[in-house]
Amino acid sequence: MRKIKKIVTIVTMCCFITALSGCAMLESEFNDIKGSLIGNGYRIDTYDNYGSKVLETSGDKINISGNKVETTSYSSDGSTSTNYDLSSVITITIDGKEIESCGDTCIFVQDGLNSEVDFTEERIKSMTDGSFSDNTFVAEFVNKYKNMFGKSRVVVIKSQLGQPITAYSGEEVYWEIPDDLPKMTKLMIDGKALYIHRANFQIIDKALLDQKGE
């Protein structure tokens, strides 16, 4: 009986670990931990407002961190309180050296992640077949859950003035907004990280791109 319980426990744990290993949200957490401890390999592309690349930087051990500034707020009774808010400056540590960046469009591409598509103008015309899952209330809940595990998507990145820069696609795409980095969006694309700093972008379900209008 004990052997059976032990086998059931081991099988249950294996199933649980397997389920977690496919969770894009947890992959993102592990990626953050590794980046904070030893750094990840990235290529950093910097663009001007028109989408022209002005700088390309790469390194084996790169980490990104925000910078907090002290702010003071005043209440109606005359008392003051001190807070710490994120500034617009990010610090990029590259193999022990630093770049302080503010205002530029920066795309951080983890080693092994390649731009697969040059996105051109498309027309998307979607129609429902009447399915219950197409209702917006249901779809919003389901899509939030699906995002945790990654969805099949295309990520289109544009300059701050809307000029197309590049696009990435993946079968397991997850996104989040880091609370410790200013004006930054982090994505995991098939297990690789992509950070977008101060750029316009769209994350489009591939299923929608299969519904192009005439």
Query: Has residue 53 got a pLDDT over 70?
Result: yes
Q: Average the pLDDT over 170-179 and give the result.
A: 93
pLDDT of residue 15: 41
pLDDT of residue 116: 72
Taking Cα atoms as reference points, which of 160, 162, 143 lies closest to residue 204?
143
Residue ranges of the domains in the chain?
22-59+102-209
**Of 43-52, 77-86, 112-121, which range is least confident?**
112-121
Q: Distance of CA 150 to CAs 122, 126, 154, 185, 193, Å? A: 23, 22, 12, 15, 13
